Structure 1
Amino acid sequence: MKGKRTQLDQANCGIARTLEIVGDWWSLLIIRNAFHGVGRFSEFQKSLGLAKNILSARLKKLVENGIFSIEPDDESSSIHRYVLTDKGEKLYVVLIALWQWGEENCFKPGELKHVMVDNRNRKPLGRLQIKAKDGRVVGPRDFRTIRIESTGKRAAERRA
């Protein structure tokens, strides 16, 4: 018998809380497809080949968490569209980070058939970089999380 899934919505970690909302692969693929212009339930279902009950559950969760809003469809009053909210649109950074990591680590040379480009000049996007407030590029071992008290003071440091 399977145990109850751990809930992360109260975790004191931005990564854990994010994963609670968008942490399964179907949710991220639904969001990816929304960035490609998909908006109707039937379009998501067709493009992803996802069972209707799973798609319905994921969309419901994404709406409840403010990633999508439901809006009337211009073509039919009986159909609605799932539209990314401002909160949902901010996930573009996550999708690009995943894309770039995948480009670098999941394909053999010459195997990748698509490239992420800038709409304005159709040139490949530059690599994402994390920068400190002073502009320095920060690498994977150059940061940590610091516990803060409600007053905003640093109480204790720990490695992320």
Structure 2
Amino acid sequence: MERVSGPYPIRGSVSLPESELRWRFSRSSGPGGQHVNTTDTQVEVLFDLAATSALPEVWKERALDRLSGRLADGVLTVRASEHRSQWRNRETAARRLAALLAEATAPPPGPRRATRVPRGVVERRLRDKKRRADVKRGRGRGQGWD
């Protein structure tokens, strides 16, 4: 069996170390014939986010806060079973975990700067609104409506 191509980059020079990942394998559900009944192709990768030393402390706190709904005792679990190959499911799960951590550790967006709506936009909206009202007002009082 080929080795999983790790470590998986999160952002910048920070990456998921292979040594901190735990793997669990089980049989996938769904169609697959005899193959699905004999091989453990479903993959779960577990990453102890609360105890990791791979992430900077600020990132770790941010990820713990943002992923709190997905954690079980500080451990983040990602499952993959869409491929028939265990190796491909391992790759998918690890890549998905890295993407999830990259999103969770991203800095918060800057504050929104309030801007005024341009005068031309307001005038155009009011002009279109008046035109539409005139069209509607012109209906209903014609022939046969009295």
Q: TM-score range by the shorter chain?
A: under 0.3
TM-score, normalisation: structure 2 = 0.24
Tell me which protein shows more strand as a share of its residues: 2
Greater relative CO (CA pairs within 8 A, separation 6+): 2
TM-score, normalisation: structure 1 = 0.22
Give the number of the structure whose alpha-carbon radius of gyration is greater: 2
